[in-house]
Amino acid sequence: MAHEVPAWVDGRLMPMDKLEVHRRGLRHKAVSVFVLSGDKVLLQQRAAGKYHTPGLWANTCCTHPLWDEAPEDCAVRRLDEELGITGVTPVWRQQVEYRADVGGGLTEHEVVEIFSLSAPETLAVTPNPEEVQAVAWVARADLEAQVAATPARFTPWLRIYLRDHAEAIFATGG
């Protein structure tokens, strides 16, 4: 079954096939979540079977909302679907837009609603192997050092978020 995402075509928002959106580099809606525990962030390593950026490390959860799905609902849904995380309420941090080559002739051009939530490192996490091959809690400073040293191990969007939006993402309170 093809997954459709909300994308802008000729100035109109319409449902489009996800792969076609990425092939054409169309601007589309997305959601990203960062689960935080003190100065640490829960990262996921994308499953080897993902159609782009397989095996790369990303923030806790990233996805595209369903047509007419509220960003908050999308964030909660995908935390459960990708990582088995339930019973949480992510806090909206900001909307950002970026464009990045993700390899294989595909481009992400996303308008992203970014959420974060605080949770203990003992949070129950059950990765869906079709989505996630590993998870790790990493201190922000260590993550920034790892991204600087070996950027190719990390998704383009995580590198952009850390470079341009870290203060909003890692802000306390909400």
pLDDT of 1 above 50: no
CA triplet 115, 74, 95: central angle to 5 degrees? 40
Task: Tell me the torsion sign for CA atoms 116, 122, 126, 132.
Answer: positive
- Classify residue 174: in a domain, yes or no: no
Give the residue-averaged pLDDT of 121-132: 96
64: in domain:
yes
Bridge partner residues of 63 (DSSP): 31
How far, in Å, CA of 136 to CA of 35, rounded?
Answer: 11
Give the mean pLDDT of the chain.
94
- pLDDT digit string, tens, across residues 49-86: 998 999 999 999 999 999 889 999 999 999 999 999 99
User: Across residues 128-156, what is the average pLDDT?
Assistant: 97
What does R_g of the chain's alpha carbons equal in angstroms? 15
Q: Tell me, what's the pLDDT at 171?
A: 83
Angle between helices 140-149 and 156-169 (to 10 degrees): 150
Structurally, the chain folds into a number of domains equal to 1
Q: Is the pLDDT of residue 2 over 70?
A: no
Residue 160 maps to which CATH number? Answer: 3.90.79.10
The answer to whether residue 11 is domain-embedded is: yes
pLDDT of residue 3: 78
Residue that is written with structure tokens 């999308």 in the block: 74
Scanning the structure block, which residue is given the tokens 């809690």? 137
135-145 tens-digit pLDDT: 999 999 999 99
Question: 18 lies in which domain range?
Answer: 4-169
What pTM does this model have? 0.93
Rounded to an integer, the average pLDDT of 90-100 is 95
pLDDT surpasses 50 at 153: yes
pLDDT value for 173: 54
Find all residues with CB under 8 Å of 86, minimum gap 6, and list them.
79, 80
Q: What three-state secondary structure class fits 145?
A: helix
Determine how many CB atoms are found less than 10 A away from the CB of residue 83. Answer: 23
Residues serving a catalytic function are: 62, 110
